[in-house]
Chains A and B, each alone.
Chain A
Amino acid sequence: MIDQITGKNIHFPGQHKGEVVKIVFRRSIFFLIAPYVLNLILLIISLFLSYFLPNTIVFLREPFLGSVLDFIVTLIILFIFYTAFLTWTHYYLDAYIVTNQRVLTIDQIDFFHRKVSEADIGNVQDIEVVAKGFFANIFHFGDVRIQTAGADQRTLFFDDIPYPYKAKDIILKFAEENRKVELHNAYTYDPNQKKSNSESADKANKSETEIQM
């Protein structure tokens, strides 16, 4: 499925070191199919007209005008093809990511216009699901509103994702897992371990700068 991706080899721009992507949600496939149906209707109309018009309008049987008509129809097909890929690109670039550290929403508003919101997954406090309308209930999609607690209190919106109730359970499960890990780390805090970790991090930073130079 394109609208729900899981797996170990998923990477996204701005990913932190040691951050693992748990699941990626996209808008329901319905929002990809609906514009494609419209494109298909346009394509059928243009092909029908290219066949039908020369048979009904006499002066279009002239070779020159017939060739011009073919040129225009091909141009319309090119435009439809471009629009279809544009729709796909916008669909593909909008994503809602849940990692072992954060919850992110990536909204590609337009080309060269991108909005990224994020929150710590451990701070996820309340999740609200809204499935409103005929199509939302028939095709099982809806909005998920994630509210976070703490200093950076905010609400993240996962708009029109498939099976929002299952998505809510998945996010809550990962949030709970993250809280357990953080609690475990807090109780098993070892200053020596921290020191050795920071030393290794310094070494890693040095090696990175050396590579950059």
Chain B
Amino acid sequence: MSAQLFSITYLIILLAYLIGSLVMIYHIFAFGINSKIGVVSTIAYLIGSVFILTILFLNLQSILSLVN
């Protein structure tokens, strides 16, 4: 039960984060003025996001290993 709860929490966070990120990136490319700055900032954001989400996933895995 606890394992399922943590997994579902992670998936909801991931989904909300992806939707929020897509909205922001869409706005940057659709309405941004200097596209070069937009591209650089988006790449930096994506790299940072992948890094933090991976750490969050590793944390989830350690929780699940302790629960099971």
On A, residues with C-beta under 8 Å from B are: 2, 5, 10-13, 24, 63-64, 67-68, 70-71, 74-75, 77-78, 81-82, 85-86, 88-89, 92-93, 95, 97, 106, 108, 111, 114
The answer to whether A71 and B45 have CB atoms under 8 Å apart is: no
Tell me the complex Cα distance, A93–B35, Å.
11
Contact with A114, one of B20, B31, B49, B66 (Cβ below 8 angstroms): B31
The answer to whether A93 and B28 have CB atoms under 8 Å apart is: yes
| Given A77-B52, A81-B52: A95 and B59 interface contact (C-beta under 8 Å) | no
The answer to whether A111 and B63 have CB atoms under 8 Å apart is: no
The answer to whether A86 and B24 have CB atoms under 8 Å apart is: yes
Q: Which residues of A contact B20 (CB under 8 A)?
A: 82
Q: Which residues of B contact A70 (CB under 8 A)?
A: 59, 62
The answer to whether B33 and A97 have CB atoms under 8 Å apart is: yes
10 contacts between A and B (CB under 8 A): A10-B33, A67-B66, A70-B62, A71-B6, A71-B56, A78-B49, A85-B41, A93-B32, A95-B33, A106-B31
Q: Which residues of B contact A88 (CB under 8 A)?
A: 41
Tell me the complex Cα distance, A68–B66, Å.
10
On B, residues with C-beta under 8 Å from A are: 6, 13, 17, 20-21, 23-24, 27-28, 30-35, 37-38, 41, 45, 48-49, 52-53, 55-56, 59-60, 62-63, 66-67
Name A's interface SS: helix
| Given A89-B28, A93-B31, A93-B32: A78 and B17 interface contact (C-beta under 8 Å) | yes
Q: Which residues of B contact A92 (CB under 8 A)?
A: 28, 32, 37-38, 41
Tell me the complex Cα distance, A108–B45, Å.
20
Q: Which residues of A contact B56 (CB under 8 A)?
A: 71, 74-75, 78
The answer to whether A71 and B59 have CB atoms under 8 Å apart is: yes
Tell me the complex Cα distance, A81–B27, Å.
18
The answer to whether A81 and B32 have CB atoms under 8 Å apart is: no
